[in-house]
Amino acid sequence: MTRAAVTRTRGARGRVRTARPAQPSSVSGQLRAAAALLRDAGSVVVVPHVNPDADALGSALALGLGLERLGIPVQVAFAEPDGVPRSLAGLPGQHLVRAADDVAVPELLVSVDVNTRSRLGSLGALVGRASRTLVIDHHVTNTGFGTDLYVDPAAESTTVLVAALLDLLGVELDAAIAANLYAGLATDTVGFRHASPAAHRLAARWLETGVDADELLRPISDTHPISWLSLLSSALGRARLELVDPAAVGQDVDGAGDGHGASGPGGRRDGRRGGGVRLVSTVIPFAEARTSAQEELDSVIDILRTVQDADVTAVVKETAPEAFQVSLRSLPGVDVAAVATRLGGGGHVRAAGFVHRGTAAGALDAIRGQLRLVAGGDGAVEGGIPVAAGTVGSPAVAEAAAPAPARGAAIAPR
Tell me the pLDDT tens digit for each residue of 294-339: 999 999 999 999 999 999 999 999 999 999 999 999 999 999 999 9
Reported confidence tier of residue 51, pLDDT bands at 50, 70, 90: very high
The domains spanning 7-221 and 227-375 adopt the same CATH topology = no
Count CB-CB contacts under 10 A for residue 101. 10
Identity at 356, one-letter amino acid code? H
| Strand arrangement, sheet containing 240-244 | 251-252, 240-244, 277-284, 312-320, 323-330, 351-357, 346-347
Count CB-CB contacts under 10 A for residue 359. 14
Residue 273 pLDDT > 50, yes or no?
no
Q: What is the pLDDT of residue 377?
A: 59
Q: What is the pLDDT of residue 399?
A: 44
What is the distance, to the nearest Å, from the Cα of residue 68 to the centroid of all Cα atoms in its chain? 25
Q: What is the pLDDT of residue 374?
A: 72
CATH superfamily of 7-221: inorganic pyrophosphatase (n-terminal core) (3.90.1640.10)
Cα separation, 356 vs 407, in Å, equals: 6
Q: What is the pLDDT of residue 397?
A: 47
What CATH number belongs to 227-375?
A: 3.10.310.30
Identity at 157, one-letter amino acid code? S
Alpha helices in 208-344 (DSSP H): 213-221, 227-237, 286-289, 294-304, 336-342
Q: What ranges do the domains of the chain cover?
A: 7-221, 227-375
Cα separation, 319 vs 99, in Å, equals: 22
Q: 152: Cβ–Cβ under 8 A, 6 or more apart, which residues?
A: 27, 30, 138, 161, 394, 395, 396
Cα separation, 187 vs 199, in Å, equals: 13
Cα-based distances in Å from 209 to 97, 173, 178, 308: 24, 8, 7, 38
Q: What is the pLDDT of residue 395?
A: 46
The bridge status of strand 132-137 relative to strand 148-151 is parallel
Q: Which of 178-187, 255-264, 305-314 has the lowest mean pLDDT?
A: 255-264
Summarize pLDDT for 188-210 with one digit per residue, the tens.
999 999 899 999 999 999 999 99
Residue 226 pLDDT > 70, yes or no?
yes
Reported confidence tier of residue 392, pLDDT bands at 50, 70, 90: very low
